[in-house]
């Protein structure tokens, strides 16, 4: 089982290290995940007015119509 823990107090780091020394847990440092950075950046820039279901449906139908027309030509 894996957990990600953010240590807020240095005393907690010492406790975790003691548990690792007793072979009760293992600790591995993770690098900053660039994917999560991108997700956070996108979420910050996300529109406050997301498209409605009708707008999404209209756009999907438009793309499908164009795609269908291109298949008939070729």
Q: What is the DSSP letter of 50?
A: P
Distance, in Å, from the CA atom of 18 to the CA atom of 28, rounded to the nearest integer, reads: 14
pTM greater than 0.85: no
Tell me: the pLDDT tens digits for 33-65?
778 888 888 888 876 777 889 999 999 999 999
Residue 2: which of 25, 18, 22, 20 has the closest Cα?
A: 25
């Amino acid at each position: 089982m894996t957990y990600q823990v953010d240590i807020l107090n240095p005393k907690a780091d010492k406790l975790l290290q003691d548990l690792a020394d007793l072979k009760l847990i293992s600790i591995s440092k993770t690098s900053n995940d660039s994917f999560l950075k991108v997700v956070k950046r996108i979420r910050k820039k996300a529109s406050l007015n997301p498209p409605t279901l009708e707008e999404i449906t209209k756009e999907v139908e438009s793309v499908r119509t164009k795609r269908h027309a291109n298949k008939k030509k070729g």
